Amino acid sequence: MSTDYKRIARDGFWDNNIVFAQALGLCPLLAVTGTATNGLGMGLASTTVMVASGLLIASLREFITPQVRIPVFVLIIAVLVTLVDMSMNAWVHDLHKVLGLFIPLIVTNCAILGRAESFASRNRVLPSLFDGLMMGIGFTFVLVLLGAAREILGSGTLFANAALLLGPWASFLESVLIPDYKGFLLIILPPGGFIVLGFLLAGKRLIDRIIAERAHNAAETLTGKPEAAT
Amino acid sequence: MSDATETPFREKVGYQALVLGLFSTLATILLVSGNLLTRDVIAERQREDLQESLQQVMPEQLYDNDLLAAPIELADADGRPLTIYRGTAGLHVSALAWEVIGRGYAGDIRLILGLDAKGRILGVRVLSHAETPGLGDKIEIARDNWILAFDGLSLGNPPVERWKVDKDGGQFDSFSGATITPRAVVAAIEGGLHFFNDHRETLLQPPQDKPQLDGGE
């Protein structure tokens, strides 16, 4: 069986995006996306765990029987997250101070268990690793998008404290878009997260529809039906 | 692909138990070794963090000892144990710092309060809180200078009845939309000052005189 990496990439980033299509991982998503920087940090940490769990579960899948797979997956993911948490606390302590709160939250992200169950346990190591990476990137993309939208609407800034997360070089990202902005509290609070997420989901559907219509029109043009052209 | 290797053996309960047991053992080994590897480094990092937050509320020129070497333990008004870090200059206790806790809008606000030997505030900083972003988080030094308004104050300055936010008739600014947060901070600091007054003797006892107090870690 050949592996369609392009398909995996497309699925992870857009077609089967964890948030946009599967609506998973909403707990960490809504909890941390008050700012774009927090979203980015959470996304990167989640991606790491997804790649590692994809790798581990795919390489151990021959030993794990269907009857006990769920507890074993949960165990593997929990151990991974704990190890990531401990090593970050020890060796990248400053980053851990910023992200420390979110890392245990990764365990609550059912998307990781979902990918373990529906992909890594059925596929070879390399595709699973790649799937974890692409799903993680797709998740990070939504986190940053949602974080940025809420940050701009709620606080009038973008990528505040990025230097804390990425190092001093990232301070160019930090910007105040609306000076003297009084803030819009609702957007920062969890209900605002749901509202903005709703708009993002609607936007995704809209883009999908436009793409589908274009494809449809292109197909009709090819089969020679000029009246379909707009 | 796994169908080819599927045998009745894999279907047995014993195999399932074995797999679960094996993975649990592996997980335990991994976590224990992870903990052993990182424990000392994490403790060291946390020590540095503590040192750093102490330095923010206790100016370095005030003392010449290692603050973390011999903290004293006292119970506060509620019987909660407090660890008090003391800076000494020569034989005298010159600066003190400990953690005070305010009941904020969303859980505890942990503050570190630094006082000099006369009970004047050297500085206050927020260690951790879960207040509303954009409103309550102005208590952080990174976001606002509000917390600096306490520097130099003490229990008599301003008088006790003015140790409140302006909404309650006191002298401290309560930011609009989030009165609970500054109110909690003011109350926590005032509580810390009362604690100092109540235990002034013990707190200012030079370390050499009462070695039994020098417990701690």
What does the domain layout of chain A look like in residue ranges? Answer: 5-184
How many Å lie between the alpha carbon of A201 and the closest alpha carbon of chain B? 25
Q: In what order do the strands lie in the sheet with B72-75?
A: B72-75, B81-89, B92-104, B107-116, B121-128
DSSP chain A: ----HHHHHHIIIIIT-TTTTT---HHHHHHHTTSHHHHHHHHHHHHHHHHHHHHHHHHHTTT--GGGHHHHHHHHHHHHHHHHHHHHHHHSHHHHHHHTTTGGGGGG-HHHHHHIIIIITTS-HHHHHHHHHHHHHHHHHHHHHHHHHHHHHHHSEESTTHHHHH-GGGGGG-EESSTT----HHHHSHHHHHHHHHHHHHHHHHHHHHHHHHHHHHHHHHTT-GGG--
* A86-140 residue pLDDT tens: 888 888 887 787 777 778 888 878 888 888 888 888 889 999 999 999 999 999 9
Residues in CB range of A88: below 8 A, 6 or more apart: A95, A96, A99, A100, A103
Q: Do A86 and B35 touch (CB under 8 A)?
A: yes
**Interface list for chain B against chain A, based on CB atoms closer than 8 Å:** 2, 5, 10-11, 15-16, 19-20, 23-24, 27, 30-31, 34-35, 37-38, 41-42, 45, 49, 132-135, 177
Which residues in chain A are contacts of B135 at CB distance < 8 A?
A: 183, 185
Give CA–CA dist B115/B207, Å, rounded.
17
Give CA–CA dist A16/A142, Å, rounded.
12
Mutation for A interface: B5, B6, B15, B19, most A CBs within 10 A? B19
Which residues in chain A are contacts of B16 at CB distance < 8 A?
A: 65, 67-68
Q: Do A185 and B15 touch (CB under 8 A)?
A: no
Q: Give chain A's largest Cα–Cα span.
A: 66
pLDDT > 90 in chain A, percent: 30
Q: Please provide the size of chain B in residues.
A: 217
Give CA–CA dist B183/B5, Å, rounded.
67
Q: Do A68 and B19 touch (CB under 8 A)?
A: yes
Q: Looking at beta carbons, which pairs linking A203-210 to residues 24 or more positions away fall under 8 Å?
A: A204/A17, A204/A20
Classify B174 as helix, strand or coil.
coil
Q: What is the pLDDT of residue B134?
A: 67
Over range B19-31, report the average pLDDT: 93
Residue A202 touches chain B, beta carbons under 8 Å: no
Q: Please provide the size of chain A in residues.
A: 230
Over range A46-62, report the average pLDDT: 91
Q: Do A90 and B35 touch (CB under 8 A)?
A: no
Q: Do A62 and B45 touch (CB under 8 A)?
A: no
Mutation for A interface: B5, B39, B41, most A CBs within 10 A? B41
Which residues in chain B are contacts of A83 at CB distance < 8 A?
A: 30-31, 34
Which residues in chain B are contacts of A68 at CB distance < 8 A?
A: 16, 19-20
Q: What is the pLDDT of residue A41?
A: 84
Arithmetic mean of pLDDT over chain A: 84
Inform me whether the pLDDT recorded for B1 exceeds 60. no
Task: Count other C-beta atoms under 10 Å from residue B94's C-beta.
Answer: 20
Q: Which two tokens mark A47? A: 């991606």
Residue A170's pLDDT band, with cuts at 50, 70 and 90, is confident
Q: What is the pLDDT of residue B24?
A: 94
Q: Do B19 and A89 touch (CB under 8 A)?
A: no
Q: Do A90 and B42 touch (CB under 8 A)?
A: yes
Closest of A100, A49, A51 to residue A78, by C-alpha: A49
Residues in CB range of A182: below 8 A, 6 or more apart: none
Inform me whether the pLDDT recorded for B212 exceeds 80. no
Contact A105, A28 (CB under 8 A): yes
Classify B65 as helix, strand or coil.
coil
Tell me which amino acid residue B122 is: L
Residue B29's pLDDT band, with cuts at 50, 70 and 90, is very high
pTM of the predicted structure, to 2 decimals? 0.73
Residue A68 touches chain B, beta carbons under 8 Å: yes
DSSP B62: G
